[in-house]
Amino acid sequence: MKLWSGRFTKDLDSSVNDFHSSIGFDSRMYKEDIEGSVAHARMLGATGIISADDAEKIIRGLEGILEDFEKGAISFSADNEDIHMNVESILTERIGDAGKRLHTARSRNDQVALDLRMYLKRRITEIKALLLSLISELCEKASLHLYTVMPGYTHLQRAQPTTFAHYVMAYAEMFRRDVSRLNDCYKRTDVMPLGSGAMGATTYPIDRRMTAEFLGFSEISLNSIDAVSDRDFVIELASCLAAIMMHLSRFSEEIILWSSHEFGFVTLDDAYSTGSSIMPQKKNPDVCELIRGKTGRVYGSLMGILTVMKGLPLAYNKDMQEDKECIFDAADTVCRCLSVFTPMFKSLAVNAENMRIAASRGFINATDCADYLTKRGVPFRDAYTVTGKIVRYCIENGLTFEDLSIDQFRLFSPVFDTDVYEEISLLACVSGRRIPGGPAPETVREHIVLVKAWIKEESV
């Protein structure tokens, strides 16, 4: 018999019961559901709404159920629809009438909102830790390659020289922003909705702040209608997860390119590569490709929950049951991707010589050549034109800047002198960009130190 069956004269059709049931996916919130119920029972007992003896029986019974769940000694029933009714049904079977008092001053609407917020707070903390681990690994790898010159790109064309350290730390900044967004999302998730009831609160003299303190929430919701119908925190987390996946996908795309024969910038460890069933020479970057592919899956979860919520009137509607599968899958996917991407990146070998050779081609020091002339009094636009003519001359004659004699340089401007070779050398081009955010080794080293200090602060 359903706990809500008093008003009905027929049993629920079995197909509707299966369609209606959410226990298949919300069972993962069993710990949060039980912890929330323990706090609620403690508050009910402390305020005298139920007797202290009944409160103690409920708490002991719930603790026993949690222990049995953890041992795998309890199975869930689809007949009880969701995790809340499964727990309450088992509790009542074990402790009798005292268990029926647990739901006093509470609805499944505010209960599920509580469970979901508690569960997602834990997942946010888990994902943040994985991001910090990745950022730490980026710092370690960057520290080893402060002087590893490589070409930087715009439009996927060689643009200017940079270093592998500078390149990698660009991704560190992306992931740092992801951590910042998770921190903000956590604040808005850390709001305790219990006490809002179905949508109109309760006439019982409950102490919501006491319950919030028991559960470690920083604040309570201020409108009971909003509290049970709000899923902004789910949407916000889904958006955060989509951004994380976007960054992982971009990085994965770079590694896929870099590990190709055409680039040869990095070599993936065999433990993070796969082969071909027919081509024995193949070494495929499948981890990166899967992450790139799974990004669409997380985007889909974000669009799914946005679409579910877009037309719902206040307050709670059954449509909102669809939020959990979306956000659960998105969080699971991000955790799996981060868990495999970090050790994969740690193990990859950087082919510094191939990077240097690539950087020596493509005239990526052309801007520095123009700057050389500008520093000696030539207007920048004129210097730009002169340098462009030198590039065209080199292309036509199969030369690089480094191949030109000083006399050849002077064919284009008398300002050139022998010091031009030093100023347009790749390492000089990089080292000269010492401003904050630039690729100079000492600048990137300072950046790494700053990020490592930030990681320690975020890890507290």
Residue 437: closest CA among 446, 426, 424 = 446
How far is CA 105 from each of CA 49, 59, 100, 116, 263, rounded to the nearest angstrom? 9, 16, 12, 19, 65
Structure tokens at 91: 């509790």
As a whole number of angstroms, the distance between CA 437 and CA 425 comes to 21
How far is CA 45 from each of CA 58, 76, 97, 102, 438, rounded to the nearest angstrom? 10, 28, 15, 10, 61
Cα–Cα–Cα angle for 384, 388, 393, rounded to 5 degrees:
150
As a whole number of angstroms, the distance between CA 337 and CA 294 comes to 8
As a whole number of angstroms, the distance between CA 64 and CA 74 comes to 11
Catalytic residues: 155, 276
3-state secondary structure the chain: CCCCHHHCCCCCCHHHHHHHCCHHHHHHHHHHHHHHHHHHHHHHHHCCCCCHHHHHHHHHHHHHHHHHHHHCCCCCCHHHCCHHHHHHHHHHHHHCHHHHCCCCCCCHHHHHHHHHHHHHHHHHHHHHHHHHHHHHHHHHHHHCCCCCEEEEEECCEEEEEEEHHHHHHHHHHHHHHHHHHHHHHHHHHCEECCCCCCCCCCCCCCCHHHHHHHHCCCEECCCHHHHHHCCHHHHHHHHHHHHHHHHHHHHHHHHHHHCCCCCCCEECCHHHCECCCCCCCCCECHHHHHHHHHHHHHHHHHHHHHHHHCCCCCCCCHHHHHHHHHHHHHHHHHHHHHHHHHHHHHHCEECHHHHHHHHCCCCCCHHHHHHHHHCCCCCHHHHHHHHHHHHHHHHHHCCCHHHCCHHHHHCCCCCCCCCHHHHCCHHHHHHCCCCCCCCCHHHHHHHHHHHHHHHHHHHC
